[in-house]
Amino acid sequence: TPVLVFVNGKSGGRQGEMLRHQFLSLLNPIQVYDLAHGGPEPGLSRFRDLSRFRILVCGGDGSVSWVLTAIDKFKFKQRDPPVAVLPIGTGNDLARVLGWGGSYSDAAVETLLHDVLHAHTFILDRWDVSTVDSNELNIRTKDKDLKVMSNYLGIGLDGIIATRFHELREGHPKYFGSQIINKLWYGQLGARAYIMPPDDPLHGVTVSVDGKKMCLDGLQGVVVLNIASYGGGSDLWGTSDEEDEHLGEHDHHHQHDSKESDGDRAGPLRRLSTKSLHNFDKPSHHDRKLEVVGIRDSLHMAKCQVGIAACVRLGQGAIIEIKTSRRRGILGQIDGEPWSIRQSARVRITHRKQAVMLSRSRTKEDGIMDRIEQVLAEAEIAQVITARQHSYLLNRMVKCTAGT
């Protein structure tokens, strides 16, 4: 099976350019492309008529999203090609979830290609983020108002810090040469936001999950999660009963305070109780649902990221809607990249499609999926099933083996 390699030459300092030369020494030049010079379209166009091939993206989360969005625009001879990720640059949360780690460890290129060829299939939900004016009834948007999310989306405090970081990095790139330095900068910006907190960043903002409005009292930020890795590997939703209980205690006290100060406003908008927290489904990257959490302040965010505090679980659902009536709009981030919602706007997050990724982590279920994928691929080649049937059956098998 041939491998098509995309390298972002601008990612990871000199790592991207170094990797591109190493791949060129092993592969045919028509298999290696620099995303910084021409994007992914030339490579995808050359490979579009192949019945089977795999893609390796060497870059950060932004590079992966770039390639996945380009794949959406092509009609391949068979199904969409599966994508592996070699993490260089910043972010790399998707690479962590896929088992490729958070950074490139100078492994031999031959080993990387071997791992790509033997990686197993991983189905990933992707989401449309559409923005319209609040008074518009229909949600159709122009291309410039449509974003695509793979990992997560944040508004309020999260967006303010991401925007400040981006502005600093764009203005002084020489001071952002490694992931460690980038994390230190993020920490400094978070500390500044704690000492000089932003002026009610969620004022005039409402968030609804499947039509149910969430209570944002006492929160400075909201994060919508598609994968269990945020900001360099943190699981903001959490999984353990201990986290549920810890969170429930905080919510219980908050609800009590809210009732005293806000009358019956806390009624229909109250946060979920400890008992209802256990009614959430186990988060999954392919269940066509998103998780929504709240952040109280930058100190709370820092504690959540190092695992000594729990985020506020707000809801879980298939359609997330954000409305703002603010005159100046609100800052946010999508997959770590700064983004903003204009004044008096309505944002709607809906399921787009499922991407076929490649994972290096190994579990008992992975072995089962490898065999299933092999059988389906052979059936498609023999024209027993179509590419569409292949994708449908694979998705159903993933859900069955995961117990969802």
> Do 205 and 339 belong together in one domain?
yes
- Pair 59, 35: CB distance under 8 Å: yes
Does 81 lie in the same domain as 52?
yes
92/169 same-domain check = no
The mean pLDDT value for 118-146 works out to: 79
Instruction: State whether 250 and 116 are in the same domain.
Output: no
Res 257 pLDDT > 50: no
116 plus 94 within the same structural domain: yes
Does the pLDDT of residue 402 top 90, yes or no?
Answer: no
Stronger pLDDT, 67 or 273, i.e. the higher one: 67
Residues of the chain with pLDDT > 70: what percent? 75
| Contact assessment for residue 358 and residue 119, using Cβ atoms and an 8 Å cutoff | yes
Q: Residue 232: pLDDT above 90?
A: no
91 and 143 share a domain?
no
Are 140 and 11 contained in the same domain?
A: no
> Do 117 and 139 sit in the same domain of this protein?
no
pLDDT for the residue numbered 147: 93
| pTM passes above 0.95 | no
C-alpha span between 254 and 258 (Å, rounded): 6
Q: How much is the pLDDT for 114?
A: 93
Q: Which of 85-94, 168-177, 360-369 has the highest mean pLDDT?
A: 85-94
Print the domain residue range for 154.
Answer: 126-352
CATH number of the domain encompassing residue 36: 3.40.50.10330
- Asked whether residue 187 carries a pLDDT value surpassing 70, the answer given is no
- Average model confidence (pLDDT) across the chain: 80
| Boundary-marking domain end, from 352, 376, 394 | 352
Task: Tell me how long the chain is.
Answer: 404
Are residue 65 and residue 96 in the same domain, yes or no?
Answer: yes
What pLDDT does 226 receive? 97
Confidence at residue 193, expressed as pLDDT on a 0 to 100 scale: 65
Q: When comparing pLDDT for 154 and 265, which is higher? A: 154
User: Does residue 362 share a domain with residue 344?
Assistant: no
Conformational region of residue 55, where left means phi above 0, alpha means psi within -120 to 50, and beta covers everything else = beta
Other beta carbons within 10 angstroms of residue 308's beta carbon come to: 9
Are 94 and 20 members of one domain?
yes
Q: Given this model, what pLDDT does residue 175 score?
A: 64
CATH number for the domain including 138? 2.60.200.40
Shared domain for 85 and 38, answered yes or no, is yes
The pLDDT confidence band at residue 228, using thresholds 50, 70 and 90, is very high
pLDDT in the model for residue 258: 38
Last residue of a domain, one of 352, 369, 392: 352
Contact predicate 205/324, CB 8 Å? yes
- Domains in the chain: how many in total? 2
Any idea which of 39-48, 350-359, 371-380, 383-392 has the lowest mean pLDDT?
371-380
Q: What is the pLDDT of residue 7?
A: 95
Better-predicted residue by pLDDT, 25 or 193: 25
Region for 27 from its dihedrals, namely left if φ exceeds 0, alpha if ψ lies in -120 to 50, beta otherwise: beta
The reported pLDDT for the residue numbered 182 is 67
Angle subtended at Cα 151 by Cα 148 and Cα 152, rounded to the nearest 5 degrees: 85
The per-residue pLDDT for 243 is 44
Mean pLDDT lowest among 7-11, 13-17, 18-22, 178-182: 178-182
